[in-house]
Amino acid sequence: MARYVFITGGVVSSLGKGLASAALGALLQARGYTVRLRKLDPYLNVDPGTMSPFEHGEVFVTDDGAETDLDLGHYERFTGVSARNTDSVSSGRIYSTVLEKERRGDYLGKTIQVIPHVTNEIKDFLATGDDEVDFMLCEIGGTVGDIEGLPFFEAIRQFSQDKPRGQCIFMHLTLLPYLGASGELKTKPTQHSVKELRSIGIAPDVLVCRSDKEIPAKERAKIALFCNVRQDAVIAAPDLKSIYEAPLAYHREGLDKAVLDAFQINHSPKPVLDRWEDVADRVFNPEGEVRVGIIGKYTQLEDAYKSIVEALTHGGMANRAKVKVEWVDAELFDNEDAEPYLKGLHAILVPGGFGERGTEGKIKAAQFARENKIPYLGICLGMQMAVIEAARNVANLSDAGSEEFDHEAGEKRFTPVVYHLKEWVQGNHKVERKVEDNKGGTMRLGAYTAKLAADSKVAGIYGSTTIEERHRHRYEVDVRYRDQLENCGLTFSGMSPDGSLPEIVEWKDHPWFIGVQFHPELKSKPFDPHPLFADFVRAAIETSRLV
């Protein structure tokens, strides 16, 4: 039976609960324990799949096709444990399930209430798979006191009472603000946050205090006294130069020991942190630097491309190089020459996205990379833009475009070399979709197999002719244009097993130009960089030496 650590936050949002949870998971693994991490989000959306990236950052997709919070990306990157659809839940999903049961008559005519029906549903979610691991780490989104989060706090309070004594602990993250006028850290916000938590029946066992200053012993003692926790369970969480320093930093502060002490585990193996020491060494001691341009339309919010940025960092680690990301808004050169915006870059990456806005700029970026022999990685929409660019400028299909853009405009303007996928095979059954279907969860989602041409660049990079990668898209490159494009030099080097869906394209006469329909960034880890990103950064390094 798993031991549970519930991670909550107070004072302000975005304190780093997800990173702290992921780092704690990594530290428990380093001591030989097995872990699984989960996220409970109080918002009423069923999942983040239909949210704008400006609202909630990127959508992280699991192998089994769940669209989840970006914190699950942190969990995977730090622990290597693949997330599942049972590792993320929202108020919307909980309430939807409760209402479906009510409509079916499962509650036998009873009045449906938040307590016990909603809280029981949350507890059932928490208990899923608790016999699989040693520790289950469950992060509650938002901050204590948020009205929408109250059912989750009540559920974890009940859950801890239902379990045997000592089976659950609570870890609370707060902020220690520094006031320059008085020259001191203020503990009162933390005290009030803990008071709010205790008022709903939850007493924290471990306090993690975020601060950009060192926490003096006097303040630690004060926090311990007024918040009723042990002094060695008051953990400092200072700002770090890299998130990959977090496991080592939290270990130095004693987080893993404080958690084990709270469980009264007194004889845990010492942590083996060689993996994280190597990661930190690669981050802080690079032997060169490359400039990689991300050409997107959500560039004002870096979290919209969180996994891509981290995968580039991992690719840099693999090559002992620092990757300096240059953010370029694709809309800036929709109707202008791309060169002034792209010259000087050592590599170009065009990520995924939805809608027509900024796509002409992305097409120009693909053209600039092709013509100037600059390494190019197109992901999802980035691959489709590369295909459209090839069709227009090499294969003489001047009106080539995507059916997505015609649907958005409400008129037919393009020859659709990219079309809306209406049916495909998932596992052992056929999936059918219509343009007018609901948006949520109706894309090609999750892990799918691709077959690679044996003599292709990607087969050499992967070291295999069969791969499995995660997808999230509604539109596909039309295989009917394959011969026309391949005759011009754009090779369809990866296909679905039945040969109907293009998965990868690459230019034969280019040093490094690859487009992929899937999202390789979702599977990259600091200690196991994705091969595509590792080789992409290697190619960028080669380009930097020629400049």
The token duo for 534 is 């590792």
First vs last Cα of the chain: how many Å apart? 58
Greatest C-alpha distance within the chain: 75
Clarify whether 346 is annotated catalytic: no
Q: Name the amino acid, one letter, at 266.
A: N
494 and 453 in contact (C-beta within 8 Å)? yes
The residues near 357 (Cβ < 8 Å, ≥ 6 apart) are 297, 331
Among 312, 249, 323, 311, CA closest to 286: 323
CA–CA gap between residue 26 and residue 77 (Å, rounded): 10
The residues near 436 (Cβ < 8 Å, ≥ 6 apart) are none
Among 366, 374, 432, CA closest to 400: 366
Q: Name the amino acid, one letter, at 214.
A: E
For residues 98-128, one letter each, b for 16 or more C-beta atoms within 10 angstroms of the residue's C-beta and e for the rest, the string is: beeeeeeeeeeeeeeeeeebbbebbbebbbe
Query: What sign does the CA torsion over 399, 400, 403, 407 have?
Result: negative
φ, ψ for residue 366, nearest 5 deg: -65, -40
Q: Kindly state the helix (H) or strand (E) to which residue 98 belongs, with its residue range.
A: helix 91-104
Q: What are the Cα distances from residue 123, in Å, to 35, 108, 163, 167?
A: 19, 20, 11, 15
CA–CA gap between residue 484 and residue 310 (Å, rounded): 36
Clarify whether 521 is annotated catalytic: yes
CA–CA gap between residue 367 and residue 373 (Å, rounded): 10
Residue 464 DSSP label: S
Q: 380, 404, 476, 510: which one is catalytic? A: 380
Q: Kindly state the helix (H) or strand (E) to which residue 35 belongs, with its residue range.
A: strand 35-41
Q: Kindly state the helix (H) or strand (E) to which residue 194 belongs, with its residue range.
A: helix 188-199
Cα angle: 465, vertex 365, 291; to 5 degrees:
80
Q: 360, 389, 506, 521: which one is catalytic? A: 521
φ, ψ for residue 311, nearest 5 deg: -65, -35
Q: Is the peptide bond before 497 cis (omega within 30 degrees of 0)?
A: no
CA–CA gap between residue 490 and residue 390 (Å, rounded): 8
Inter-axis angle of helices 246-253 and 274-284, nearest 10: 120
Polymer length of the chain: 547
CA–CA gap between residue 494 and residue 502 (Å, rounded): 6
CA–CA gap between residue 72 and residue 278 (Å, rounded): 23
Clarify whether 58 is annotated catalytic: no
Residues with catalytic function: 380, 519, 521
